[in-house]
Structures are given as C-alpha cells and as structure tokens.
C-alpha cells in the first residue's frame, strides 16, 4: 500500500485524513440544549484569534455538568457544514468516545496547547 491511497474497503488515504480539520478549542460556555430529542449541551468553544468562537451541540450530558465544562480543552472538527439541531446552529463537531456504559467522554489534549492548534 502506498501512503497516498487506500487498498482495503473502508480505508482512507492520508490525503483524506488531512482534509478533516481537527482543532483544539476551549469551552467558554455550556448550557442544556432546549428542545433536543436526545439530551445535549449547547457549547461555545474558543478556537483562538484566527478562528474565533464557534458553537457545538454535544450529547455529553451523562458524563458532564455545564459548569465543569467551562475552561476545558476539547478537540473538534471545524470544517463540516453547520447543522441545525433543535433550532440551534451547530458549527463544529466536538469529538468524544463512548465509555463502557455508552456515555460520551470528550477527547482532549493532556497538556495545554495554543487554541486553534491543528491535529495532524
């Protein structure tokens, strides 16, 4: 297999991965998302001076409380098109993984890094 292409079904090449723009941001506001079918929080995430503050809907209510999210570093995909969720414009996809109980756990760097830093 070459670095450029995928040879097995479902595989992607490095160019495909590089098109996904994943950045580090800091949660600056979090509140319950009213009207959502599944419990979620409306997040405002600061990605630094170049990218600014963006909004995200995140189904993380089983694992987190809004106040505990403030100041937390998170990873988010910033180049997906915005989506409307319960009338809320979600501009980025905040990344997480499910734990053994199925609750979403946020993915974040284990050290402080500049806001807006790209994952590579």
Domains and CATH numbers, the chain: 18-106 (2.40.50.140)
pLDDT of residue 1: 43
pLDDT of residue 7: 73
Q: What share of the chain is helix, strand, coil (3-state, %, to 5)?
A: 10, 35, 55
- What tens digit of pLDDT does each residue of 6-61 get? 578 889 999 999 999 999 999 999 999 999 999 999 999 999 999 999 999 999 99
Mark 71-108 as b/e (b = at least 16 C-beta within 10 Å): ebbbbbebeeeeeebeebebbbbbbbeeeeeeebebeb
Q: How confident is the model at residue 3 (pLDDT cuts 50, 70, 90)?
A: low
pLDDT of residue 14: 92
pTM of the model: 0.90
pLDDT of residue 120: 87
- What tens digit of pLDDT does each residue of 53-98 get? 999 999 999 999 999 999 999 999 999 999 999 999 999 999 999 9
pLDDT of residue 8: 83
Residue 4 has pLDDT above 90, yes or no: no
């Amino acid at each position: 297999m070459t670095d450029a292409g995928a040879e097995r079904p479902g595989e992607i090449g490095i160019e495909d991965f590089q098109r996904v723009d994943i950045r580090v941001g800091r949660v600056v506001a979090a509140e319950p998302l009213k009207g959502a079918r599944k419990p979620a929080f409306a997040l405002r995430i600061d990605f630094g001076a170049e990218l600014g503050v963006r909004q995200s809907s995140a189904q993380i209510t089983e694992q987190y409380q809004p106040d505990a999210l403030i100041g937390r570093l998170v990873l988010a995909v910033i180049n997906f098109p915005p989506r409307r969720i319960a009338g809320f414009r979600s501009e980025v996809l905040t990344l997480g993984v499910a734990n053994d109980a199925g609750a979403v756990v946020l993915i974040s760097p284990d050290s402080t890094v500049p806001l807006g830093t790209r994952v590579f």
